[in-house]
């Protein structure tokens, strides 16, 4: 009965994949246009993307800035109405960013694919060892990157290069300058991936950080201000809790949340989520 249903209406997974194939083809078309660019010309693509995002959102951001200034200086007006307007503008800004990023996606993913191609054969230090780069995203990985940008779960088998796939939407969403988080399951993977994949982003002048268990609040603040920050669910979660308990904004380490990818999502959001994040202090015990 189920197979008959699928024959008549089609399999959803197949339909989803079929919708992604033309996007992958468009990315490859853009990729072909980049072959003859110099390294500096390829880097300039990132500057062009950023400029387009700033231009397209300039009007909304200016209105937000004016409202925030008014809230700081003027107390003789309806503050609640102003805050409501800020919320509306923030939503509009988010939607505008999303529209422009969707438009830029084929070009941006092509830039990362070309960057990976140019890094082939080069090596750098990853966790104390020299590692040679030998990866260029293929079509399945491009499609996985599109799925992640859409806010969906991309299920990929071991060996399909999930770590590389994540760099595509991370680069795209980092173009806004509002920060990107990659949440993984342990400190080793966070540090390894930040060093291994970080060279792709650094090629384009983006900053890459990592949050480790041993870092002080000042060190964490620096890492969170990077364009891209790797870390574990526990570190991101506890920093969020501590920030909400801070007595002053200057003691908060995270900035406003923008875009995150959860690696091993089944582990982080199911298995790990069974353990609550609790901050507790010493309890006085009576004799």
| pLDDT tens figures, 12-39 | 778 888 999 999 999 999 999 999 999 9
- Give the count of domains, the chain: 1
| Nearest residue to 140 via CA among 165, 119, 117 | 165
Instruction: Centre a 10 Å sphere on the Cβ of residue 183 and count the other Cβ atoms it contains.
Output: 23
Domain with 17, as residue range(s), is 2-274
Q: What is the pLDDT of residue 7?
A: 54
| Domain-located, residue 167 | yes
| Domain-located, residue 266 | yes
Does the pLDDT of residue 198 top 90, yes or no? yes
Q: What is the pLDDT of residue 163?
A: 94
Q: What is the pLDDT of residue 12?
A: 77
Instruction: Give the mean pLDDT of 37-44.
Output: 97
Instruction: Give the mean pLDDT of 87-114.
Output: 97
| Domain-located, residue 285 | no
| Domain-located, residue 40 | yes
Does the pLDDT of residue 86 top 80, yes or no? yes
Q: What is the pLDDT of residue 9?
A: 52
Reported confidence tier of residue 126, pLDDT bands at 50, 70, 90: very high
Q: Exposed, middle or buried by CB within 10 Å (0-12, 13-18, 19+), for 131?
A: middle
Instruction: Give the mean pLDDT of 98-117.
Output: 98
Note the pTM of the prediction, 2 decimals.
0.90
| Domain-located, residue 287 | no
Instruction: Give the mean pLDDT of 238-252.
Output: 93
The radius of gyration of the chain's CA atoms, rounded to the nearest angstrom, is 22
Does the pLDDT of residue 46 top 60, yes or no? yes
Q: What is the pLDDT of residue 283?
A: 61
| Domain-located, residue 282 | no
| pLDDT tens figures, 212-242 | 999 999 999 999 999 999 999 999 999 999 9
| Domain-located, residue 279 | no
Q: What is the pLDDT of residue 277?
A: 74
| Domain-located, residue 281 | no
| Nearest residue to 113 via CA among 21, 200, 193, 207 | 200
Domain at 192, CATH number: 3.40.50.300
On average, the pLDDT of the chain sits at 91
Q: What is the pLDDT of residue 276?
A: 76
Does the pLDDT of residue 122 top 80, yes or no? yes
Question: CA 83, 89, 93 angle in degrees (round to 5)?
Answer: 145
Instruction: Give the mean pLDDT of 36-65.
Output: 96
Residue 189 CA to residue 235 CA, distance in Å, equals 13
């Amino acid at each position: 009965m189920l197979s008959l249903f699928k024959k008549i209406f089609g399999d959803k997974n197949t339909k989803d994949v079929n919708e992604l194939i033309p996007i992958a083809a468009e990315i490859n078309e853009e990729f072909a246009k980049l072959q003859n660019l110099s390294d500096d010309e390829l880097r300039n693509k990132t500057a062009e993307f950023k400029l387009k995002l700033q231009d397209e959102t300039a009007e909304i951001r200016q209105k937000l800035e004016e409202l925030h200034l008014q809230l700081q200086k003027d107390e003789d007006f309806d503050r609640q109405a102003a805050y409501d307007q800020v919320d509306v503008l923030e939503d509009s800004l988010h939607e505008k960013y999303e529209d422009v990023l969707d438009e830029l996606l084929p070009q941006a993913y092509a830039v990362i694919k070309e960057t990976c191609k140019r890094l082939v054969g080069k090596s750098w230090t990853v966790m104390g060892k020299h590692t040679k780069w030998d990866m260029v995203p293929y079509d399945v990985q491009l499609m996985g990157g599109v799925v992640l940008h859409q806010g969906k779960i991309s299920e990929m088998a071991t060996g399909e290069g999930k770590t590389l796939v994540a760099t595509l939407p991370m680069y795209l969403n980092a173009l806004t300058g509002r920060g990107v988080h990659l949440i993984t399951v342990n400190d080793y993977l966070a540090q390894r991936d930040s060093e291994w994949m970080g060279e792709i982003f650094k090629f384009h002048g983006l900053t890459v950080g990592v949050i480790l268990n041993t870092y002080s609040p000042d060190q964490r603040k620096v890492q969170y201000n990077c364009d891209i920050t790797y870390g574990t669910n526990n570190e991101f979660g506890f920093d969020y809790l501590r920030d909400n308990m801070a007595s002053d904004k200057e003691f908060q380490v995270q900035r406003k949340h923008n875009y995150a990818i959860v690696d091993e999502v089944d582990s982080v959001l199911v298995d790990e989520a069974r353990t609550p994040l609790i901050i507790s202090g010493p309890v006085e015990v009576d004799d």
